[in-house]
Each structure stands twice: as structure tokens, then as C-alpha cells.
Structure 1
Amino acid sequence: MTSTQARRMRRPVLQAAIDAGARCTKADPDLFFRADGEPPATWQAQRAEAIGFCHGCPVRAACEELALRGTATATSASTTWSAAVVPATSWSPSASSRPSA
């Protein structure tokens, strides 16, 4: 099995775990997305509340993995995580592989 085949097989497993146990499914979806023209201070407060749903979530690792894959099939929690957290962390493979100072 190639690594590409393995990744394709893992996506449905991750999505099923997220759909079954994500804490954010009961939250208002608008909480996780910045509105056009929203002031930075307002968004930072809203973003902090959104990220609060992630703390202690039993499927956070699966959600993060699926969100960072950037797959179009990601729904629900992984979309939430990528909307609220990924843009703020500026994650990239090259940045994560650099040694910290």
C-alpha cells in the first residue's frame, strides 16, 4: 500500500470519529468564522471562545489532522478547527520542521 492510498483510507475513519464525538457540533457555526469587516478585537474574543470548544474535546487530534490535510470532504468540527485555529497559527510544513529558537 502506498502512502497516498493509506491517507485516502484514513480520511473516512477520521471523519467518522469527528462526527461521532466532536464537542463543537452543538455550537453556533457562525462563532467559528470571522465576518467581513469584523474588528480584530471582536474577532479575537470570538476566536478565543471558539477555540474553547476544542479544549478537552475527545476527537481534537483527529479533527486537527483532518483540518490540516485541507480536504474538501472535511465537515463539521474539522472545518471549525481550521477556520478558527489554522489561520491564526500560520501552520506550514516548513515552519513546523524548523528547530525552535
Structure 2
Amino acid sequence: MLDAPASAGEMIIFDDSDRAIEMRSTGEVDAKLVIGSAAPHPHSLHLGNYSVHTSAEALKAGERHIMDLHKELIERERQPPPHSSGPVPVLR
């Protein structure tokens, strides 16, 4: 058994096994525990600041697209508002 203390708001990742998980409280505060599980993803995942992809190239492209959308939104905020109301622009 691994003796690993955890604090409020902390996430702990357990090993991939079917062994029991033992929890102990210090008794100082009421404990709330949320446990989630999922099947392993069939691909290696590449984690970014805003997204998750299955390759480093796809991650770079996805984050570049997010930055392009961000720049476009900033540019639209700098432009004077149109005189007539119309639909909200959709960025793709």
C-alpha cells in the first residue's frame, strides 16, 4: 500500500490495477471524495493548454487554430460596432 496524503482539491491518479483502494481520514474535517474511472484511451494523447490530440502535429495545429480565433476576436473588438443589429458572427 502506498501511503500518500492528499489535500482538499487535489487530484490523485491511481495505478492501473484491480486492487482495492484504502482511504483514511485524519478526522480533522469532513471528507468528500469523488472517484472517476474510464477505459484507457487506445492512442497516446498529447496534452495542450486548451485541447487534447492524438499526435503532436494535430496538437500544434489545434492550438494554432485557437490562437488564430483569439486574434480574430480581438481584432473584431477593435472595430467600430455596425450600425444595424445582425447575427452574431460565427468563427470557424
> Normalization by structure 1: what TM-score?
0.25
More helix as a share of residues: 1
